[in-house]
Structure 1
Amino acid sequence: MERIWEETKNYDVQQGDTLFTIAQREYGDGNLFSVIALQNHLADPDLVEVGEQLLIPYVTYRHQVTALDSNVARKEITQHYYGTTDSNVELIWEIVNGVAQREIHQGTWLHMPDLTNVGHYTVVADETLPGLAARWYGDDHLAVIIELANNLPTGSSLTAGQVLIQPGLNRLRHVAGDTLASLCLEEYGDADLDTRIAVVAAANHINTPDAVFCNQAVYIPS
């Protein structure tokens, strides 16, 4: 039996749905329809039937920048996705995308972390925010987004039993070799490995999974 990914959800196809429109709604980028097609082993992505149940892997929502970068434009993005212009919320997505102190060029795709349908995590003894960030997101420097999401002071220590909001964001990994196979094997195990490699490639717009380069940044769908 196929193992369902931890955050994969079920979706029943509705009248008028296409994989493109589903991907546009779920991911913000209709061109990621192949992620859904590959996960569901669909021979023809153009043929989905009303009532058909699909598995939708969790891929961090994408936003393509169309306006010139400005403080106003950034606040509009924050308002659109999070319903607020709070500077700390804005800082979360800026840090995730490495644009807190860098210009955002038109056409750039941003990863918008989920701050509404979040997970909650109970801290155990000796855990730290950098350690959790490394485990959850693949980068200990993203501890700051956990701090911001939980209104914690910078450099906060954790106590066992403390409950944290866990912002939704795909893990970032860097390819150690020249293929995705070893990375996917480490992340997911060997169940349906070919599908997992194909889905990771599609989610990262990698056309040739065997031609990635060492240290290439890859987001891991869940």
Structure 2
Amino acid sequence: MARKQGNPPTVHTVETGDTLFDIAQAYYGDGDQWTKISADNGNIAPESLQIGQQLQVLTVNSPSPDTNNVVVYDDSQYLGFSQVLGVGSYDWGQIKNDSISSIKVPVGMKVILYSDTNFGGQSKTFTADTPYVGDDFNDLTSSLIVEIANNAPPSGSGFANIVSRQAYETMFPNRNGLYSYEGLITATQRYPNFCNEGSDEQRKREAAAFLANIAHETGNLQYTEELNTANWPHYCDLNSTYPCVSGKTYHGRGPIQLSWNYNYGACGTALGIDLLNNPELVSTDSVISFTTALWFWMTSQLPKPSCHDAINTSGFGMTINIINGGIECGKGQVTQQAQHRIQLYQQFTQGLGVTPGDNLSC
């Protein structure tokens, strides 16, 4: 009979006479669970055990997580073997080595994955549900840390506290089903600083600015893809570090009309989603669609700042410049497109009970 050397998750050092069946019996009370131990250790064969060999003994699938736990999965899209983990540090032997492909992270939690044991090597941080951790970290994790996110928003704050479901549905009565309120609110959880920094006036202006720009881009949230299909094949930059995939196009999709292979690639890397191979997710999955828009909004577009920073430091006009300045700005007079964005912004700020501020034009 194998000697139990701790409680799962733990590491078992093989001793004289140990078999996978006996080890499973010792830790799980069920020798038939030896197949799980085998699978958790690279499908090791029973006859190949060697004295001194270390085996990962993981927990049997736990019940559904609560708001204090994260869940890591072997496969993308939250499939395969899973582990439920609370706040703490998990090294090799406590988690399944080199196997994590997707992860669920409750609001207010943070998970840091490490490529090496003892929390070393490359690292990547997640603060929201991620159906694919990305090519750079797929099946690479050897240790991880679960902790409370320092930047978690206070309960009830942020965009959802500024724009209610009723207000949103009133603003966009003819919206496409892709642009659901639930999808938008879920997406905002990944970016807790969105509409959650500065004064009440600044937060409302950011909400209005975001809504005005996505309303302009999508015909008041009616269009999920760029209407000019003739342009679809032309959004491929051959010099990008994110090569175009044969048979895929990177035309405008979603609330911000995400375009070009380099934006799909960079956005997908940041979100842990393979958007180069699956660009259609931006126009078919509500949460992913809004999350890509928020990625663009919250990310600096060098040499320009992020729209999030611009609305609070430079005014609404700079958000136009960041999104489509090459076409709509610097023409000597306010372009028709820019004027439409400004009108929408003024409409939404009025509805939210705040003044639009200065520097509306680009």
TM-score category, normalised to shorter length: 0.3 to 0.5
Structure with larger RCO (C-alpha < 8 A, sep 6+): 1
TM-score normalised by L of structure 1: 0.33
The structure carrying a bigger strand percent of its residues is: 1
Question: TM-score scaled by structure 2?
Answer: 0.23
